[in-house]
Structure 1
Amino acid sequence: MSTVENQLDELKAEIVSEVPDDISISDVQYEGPELVVYTRDPKKFAQNGDLIRQLASQLRKRITVRPDPDVLSVPDKAREQIMDVTPEEAGITDLDFHADTGEVVIEAEKPGMVIGRHGSTLREITQKVGWTPEVVRTPPIESSTVSNVRNFLKQERDERRDILERIGRQIHREEMSDDEWVRITTLGCCREVGRASFILSTPETRVLIDCGDKPGAEDEVPYLQVPEALGSGANSLDAVVLTHAHLDHSALIPLLFKYGYDGPIYCTEPTRDLMGLLTLDYLDVAAKEGRAPPYESEMVREAIKHCIPLEYGDVTDISPDIKLTLHNAGHILGSSIAHFHVGDGLYNVAFSGDIHYEDTRLFNGAVNEFPRVETLVLESTYGGRNDYQTDQEDSERKLKDVINETYDEGGKILIPAFAVGRSQEMMLVIEEAMRSGDIPEMPVHLDGMIWEATAIHTTYPEYLRDDLRDRIFHEDENPFLADQFNHIDGGDEERQEVADGGPAIILSTSGMVTGGPIMSWLEHLGPDPDTTLTFVGYQAQGTLGRRIQKGQDKVPLGNSRGRGRSDSLTLNCNVETVDGFSGHADRQGLENFVKTMNPRPEKVLCVHGDEQSTQDLSSALYHEFNMRTFAPKNLETFRFL
């Protein structure tokens, strides 16, 4: 019998000894990081609300209790009972019963009312019907991404369960080495912005953190071929952790499955959905530009199938010697700081991903309270000596001035915006400004993936800033549903109508003007001197957005006009940059993030910034806090211990 089987037998015996005699335990299995306990008495489990919590604390495992299939009530009867137990205001839109696991997925407009105070309604549901309820939100804006992901995972439940059982056995396998060391290898985003990728390794475990592309440089990908990464095979990786869904962190995650990886991806639930949206669009853009995509769409589905969503603050075993906890990074929806606890108190490493330290309109600021962090891998996008962003109020005031001046001229405001994060921030600023009369009411057109990304934001309001979440939850005031917002879904014909019409605001992807519908908008509006092209986000080196920002007025359109030959136009529009809306912390924010950590890390690796920014930040942290700091190059390995 394998050591995992022995372990499960011992856990089952311990659980049996702890639960009351009238509760039977029929089986115990690992599914991913969770321990699943099967019982013929789910109603009695539910009556004792503290029992699962006590077992989880004692066994130091995440525990899910499921009923044996043969003790479940008939779905039709269970449906009636669930509807009786839950308040009508919960707005249940779907009930999906899965007899193989004894779970019922309840989709509701107000999940909190299905859950009840401290889970009271969920326990009542289980007491009545025996089924284990899982609650998901009905998106207030219909999202094809959320719908497709949920339907796909429903279709793949059997295979996904097999995957999770296999992953669970890998996580809880016996440790094979007595050595103690921790290493980090840099595979990308060192002294550059983009292609974020790192390997965290111990004698027991190898974890890949992020795997992105480099904006404006399609040929520069992470150094996955080196021995520390996939050089000895993709399945030498034990886990992949994705900090957030932006393509410079996520674009090449599906490529791992093309190379043969078959393990877990740990991320938040909105990161999983946004990764699906952005990587499929990444393939679509490559095809439209005549480039060979690095992988097929099937690999995106494989990545989604292997995702294990975690909530902020959940401590999760991902291997025999590593526990992972994700914390809010304040950057985009679901973005995370990944904290790794290695061994039994041996060493702690945190990867910041991309962070915003102060609160924004969309998100609470990044978390920097950890029990311990010996080494911090810190982004440095705005780490340069003079990288101080404008105060948010000043930024909003300048944006309103630009809008008002352009409106008075009868023109249009064209804002290249990242679909995820900056667009929703702009929507909140514009909606409030119109509501308060600071700017005139006018149509706000959303093009590209912005509408779909916004729909995903409305699906997960618990990840938004506290006061925004409360407005959506408790006051039924969803600013994303304001009447001014219009989804451009009629393509170039609708864009021409907008261009021929009166004053308007247009938010369009891509945010760095590297392709997408923004190219069509430049063709329609770029020659118009009454148009104001307004940059509100970071423009990476090598992108067309950066070149326009620096004064270039000749814009190559490629074959965007469908003629198959290169074409260009001359910009006559005004060009403005409004700083302060970035999802990244500026130099002061990065310093404050480190300054207020308690305890502070012993070492900091400054990454994800150009060469000057990483070296400036590294030097400043060293002099200010007397800590060891580094501005590593790609392909360096750091050993700790």
Structure 2
Amino acid sequence: MSTVDKQLDEITSTITDELPNDISVSDVTYEGPELVIYTRDPKKFARNGDLIRTLAGKLRKRITVRPEPDALTPPESARETVRSVIPDDADVSNVDFHEDTGEVVIEAAKPGMVIGRHGSTLREITQEVGWTPEVVRTPPIESSTVSNVRNFLKQEREERRDILERVGRQIHREEMSDGEWVRITTLGCCREVGRASFILSTPETRILIDCGDKPGSDDAPYLQVPEANPLNSIDAVVLTHAHLDHSALIPLLFKYGYDGPIYTTEPTRDLMGLLQLDYLDVAAKEGRSPPYDSAMVREAVKHTIPIEYGDVTDIAPDVKLTMHNAGHILGSAVSHFHIGEGHYNVAFSGDIHYDDTRLFNGAVNDFPRVETLVMESTYGGRNDYKTDQADSEERLVEIINETADRGGKVLVPSFAVGRSQEIMLVLEEAMRNGKIPEMPVHLDGMIWEATAIHSTYPEYLRDDLRDRIFHDDENPFLAPQFNHIDEGEDEREEVAAGDPAIILSTSGMVTGGPIMSWLEHLGADPDSTMTFVGYQAQGTLGRRIQNGWDEIPMNGGRGRSGTLNLELEVETVDGFSGHADRQGLENFVKTMNPRPEKVLCVHGDEQSVQDFSSALYHNYNMRTFAPKNLETFRFK
């Protein structure tokens, strides 16, 4: 008998001792980080609301109770009962039964009303029909991504359960080493922006944090080095957020043998799939061979284990992971690793925004312990102080008014995820308050789909914005000015030849996608304005245009060739970035509780990381480093 089986036998005995005599346990197993209890008495479990909480506290594990099939009310009659228990105001759109797991998935516009106070409605559902309810939100804006992910996971439930059981046994295996050390190896994004990737190692475990591409370059993380190989021996992948410079090459891991879990938030899972599929689409349109195919994207989604902010989750025998809001984009997370029994603590910032924005609350930096912080430094240079957001919004309003007065268009290269939604909120409010004339706001590329995903997960947004999304008549993303470009080149030509308008288009760094078409249509128009609102990495066409290039190569798809002369105005409004500026980065570290002993400054141009590292050392007496790629740091 394996050590995991012995452990489960002991847990089963403990559970049996704690339960009343009239509640039976037929099986106990692990599914990922959760302990799953199978019972023929789910209704009795539900009647005792404190029972699961008591067991979870005693066993120090997250617990799910699953009913045996013979304890379930048949779906035909259960569906009617479930609907009768849930208040009508919840606006239930679908009730779907999964007999293999005993779960009933309830899709509703107002999930909170399905859950009830402290889960009271969920317990009542189980008491009445035996099924274990799972609640998902009906997107207020229809999202093909959310729908496809949910349908795909439904189809793959059986295989996914096998994956989770295998992962669960890996997490709870017996520790094989008595050693105590922690190492971090840098595989990318050191003294550069892009291809974020790190290996966190202990004597027991290897964890890959992020695996992204580098905008404007074919450079990939150094996955071939011994610290990362063989890929199938990595215990877990942790994804801080969905932007491609952090997530693009995760499917490549599955192509080359990785078959383990990906831990991230639920919206990051959905956005990851959206952005990776678009990554493949753009490569195909530009005649490039992508490094993997869509089947590998599906594998990544299938292996993802979503975790919520603040949940302490076992991901290895000696590692617990907790994710916290990073304030950068939807679902972005500062990832905190608790290693051993209080042995060492490491936090990876991912990308952060320290102050509140229109979309998100600012990044969380309050942890029980952190000895080492791996800290982004995108705007870490000594002069990287961004304009106040209110001033930035005012400047954007000025640019729009000046351009509209000339009869031109405002073209905004924008990241589909995060910056576009921030700009949409600014534009909706400015038009509602009469600060700019009402005009169409055309959304090209993935922006509308990304916006739909934002509206699916309002609990990850700022409180006041979340409340507005709950009311369709107040949802700012449903304002009539917003138009999704869905008829391709013909519609673009029509917009370019028409009245003043605002165009938000991917890609945000002008590295491909529909923005190239808009440059063809509007580049020679001196009445129009191209306005940058996000970071432009070195080597990207966006950075070159920002620096004054007025002749740009057009060698992408659809037969483009030669050069394009730019005559439109070029402006930069720098207060909208999803990254903290130099002051925000310093404030994040300065106010950390507790403050870390060591900081590795990464994800920034060489000068930025060196400036930021030096400042933290001199101002706060911390040991700081500006590592190069392929360095390894040992702690403890």
* Same-fold status (TM-score > 0.5): yes
Say if 1:559 and 1:567, in contact at 8 Å, map to a contact too: no
Amino acid at match of 2:530: L
Q: Distance in 1 between matches of 2:556 and 2:249?
A: 26
Q: How far is the alpha carbon of 1:476 from its aligned partner?
A: 5.4
Amino acid at match of 1:470: D
Partner secondary structure for residue 401 of structure 1: helix
Q: How far is the alpha carbon of 1:414 from its aligned partner?
A: 0.5
Q: How far is the alpha carbon of 1:336 from its aligned partner?
A: 0.4
Partner secondary structure for residue 530 of structure 2: strand
Q: How far is the alpha carbon of 1:100 from its aligned partner?
A: 1.1
Matched, 1:462 2:459: yes
- Partner of residue 611, structure 1: 606
Matched, 1:59 2:54: no
- Partner of residue 229, structure 1: 228
Q: How far is the alpha carbon of 1:406 from its aligned partner?
A: 0.8
Q: Distance in 1 between matches of 2:475 and 2:25?
A: 45
Instruction: Give the one of 355, 360, 370 matched to 1:358.
Output: 355
Deviates more, 1:470-479 or 1:393-402: 470-479
Deviations 1:584-622 (A, max 9, x none): 000000100011111100000000001100010000000
Q: How far is the alpha carbon of 1:555 from its aligned partner?
A: 2.0
Q: Distance in 1 between matches of 2:579 and 2:391?
A: 17
Q: How far is the alpha carbon of 1:474 from its aligned partner?
A: 6.0
- Partner of residue 302, structure 1: 299
How many residues of Structure 1 are paired with residues of Structure 2 in the alignment?
636
- Decide whether aligned partners of structure 1 residues 476 and 311 sit closer, same or farther in structure 2, where only a CA change above 3 A counts: farther
Q: Distance in 2 between matches of 1:155 and 1:112?
A: 26
Amino acid at match of 1:611: E
Deviations 1:412-455 (A, max 9, x none): 11000000000000000000011111111100000000000001
Partner secondary structure for residue 95 of structure 2: strand
Matched, 1:317 2:314: yes
Q: How far is the alpha carbon of 1:475 from its aligned partner?
A: 8.0
Q: Distance in 1 between matches of 2:463 and 2:562?
A: 47
Say if 2:140 and 2:472, in contact at 8 Å, map to a contact too: no
Deviations 1:316-372 (A, max 9, x none): 000000000000000000000110000000000000000000000000000000000
Q: Distance in 2 between matches of 1:476 and 1:126?
A: 34
- Partner of residue 7, structure 1: 7
Q: Distance in 2 between matches of 1:607 and 1:342?
A: 22
Once the two structures are superposed, the pairs formed by residues 354-393 of structure 1 within 5 Å of their partners are: 354-393=351-390
Instruction: Give the one of 576, 582, 587 matched to 2:577.
Output: 582
Amino acid at match of 2:313: T
Q: How far is the alpha carbon of 1:567 from its aligned partner?
A: 2.7
Matched, 1:497 2:494: yes
Amino acid at match of 2:116: G
Q: How far is the alpha carbon of 1:472 from its aligned partner?
A: 1.9
- Partner of residue 141, structure 2: 141
Q: Distance in 1 between matches of 2:32 and 2:105?
A: 19
Once the two structures are superposed, the pairs formed by residues 452-531 of structure 1 within 5 Å of their partners are: 452-473=449-470, 477-531=474-528
Q: Distance in 1 between matches of 2:116 and 2:527?
A: 54
Q: Distance in 2 between matches of 1:165 and 1:535?
A: 47
Once the two structures are superposed, the pairs formed by residues 76-95 of structure 1 within 5 Å of their partners are: 76-95=76-95
Matched, 1:71 2:71: yes
Partner secondary structure for residue 574 of structure 2: coil
- Partner of residue 16, structure 1: 16
Amino acid at match of 2:270: D
Instruction: Give the one of 608, 618, 623 matched to 1:623.
Output: 618
- Partner of residue 35, structure 2: 35
Amino acid at match of 1:584: H
- Partner of residue 198, structure 1: 198
Amino acid at match of 2:465: L
Partner secondary structure for residue 352 of structure 2: coil
Q: Distance in 1 between matches of 2:32 and 2:473?
A: 37
Q: Distance in 2 between matches of 1:303 and 1:579?
A: 34
- Partner of residue 217, structure 2: 217
Q: Distance in 2 between matches of 1:472 and 1:117?
A: 21
- Partner of residue 412, structure 2: 415
Instruction: Give the one of 594, 602, 610 matched to 2:589.
Output: 594
Amino acid at match of 1:618: S
Say if 1:37 and 1:64, in contact at 8 Å, map to a contact too: yes
Q: Distance in 1 between matches of 2:86 and 2:122?
A: 9
Say if 1:353 and 1:378, in contact at 8 Å, map to a contact too: yes
Instruction: Give the one of 340, 349, 362 matched to 1:343.
Output: 340
Q: Distance in 2 between matches of 1:418 and 1:586?
A: 18
Partner secondary structure for residue 583 of structure 1: coil
Q: How far is the alpha carbon of 1:164 from its aligned partner?
A: 0.4
Say if 1:512 and 1:544, in contact at 8 Å, map to a contact too: yes
Partner secondary structure for residue 527 of structure 1: coil
Partner secondary structure for residue 305 of structure 2: strand
The TM-score normalised by the length of structure 1 is 0.98
Deviates more, 1:445-454 or 1:471-480: 471-480
- Partner of residue 256, structure 2: 259
- Partner of residue 537, structure 1: 534
Q: Distance in 1 between matches of 2:463 and 2:472?
A: 13
Q: Distance in 2 between matches of 1:306 and 1:203?
A: 24
Q: How far is the alpha carbon of 1:112 from its aligned partner?
A: 1.0
Deviations 1:135-175 (A, max 9, x none): 00111111111111111111110100000000000000000
| Identity, % of aligned positions | 81
Q: Distance in 1 between matches of 2:384 and 2:113?
A: 45
Say if 2:108 and 2:136, in contact at 8 Å, map to a contact too: yes
Say if 1:527 and 1:573, in contact at 8 Å, map to a contact too: yes
Amino acid at match of 1:302: E
Q: Distance in 1 between matches of 2:473 and 2:135?
A: 20
Say if 1:530 and 1:574, in contact at 8 Å, map to a contact too: yes
Amino acid at match of 1:603: K
Deviations 1:375-423 (A, max 9, x none): 0000000000000000010000000000111111111110000000000
Q: Distance in 1 between matches of 2:20 and 2:396?
A: 64
Q: Distance in 2 between matches of 1:570 and 1:21?
A: 81
Deviations 1:176-227 (A, max 9, x none): 0000000000000000000000000000000000000000002x11000000
Q: How far is the alpha carbon of 1:82 from its aligned partner?
A: 0.8
Partner secondary structure for residue 580 of structure 1: helix
Amino acid at match of 1:42: P
Q: Distance in 1 between matches of 2:362 and 2:485?
A: 32
Q: How far is the alpha carbon of 1:473 from its aligned partner?
A: 2.7
Amino acid at match of 1:580: G
Q: Distance in 2 between matches of 1:432 and 1:182?
A: 49
- Partner of residue 568, structure 1: 563
Q: How far is the alpha carbon of 1:91 from its aligned partner?
A: 1.2
- Partner of residue 105, structure 1: 105
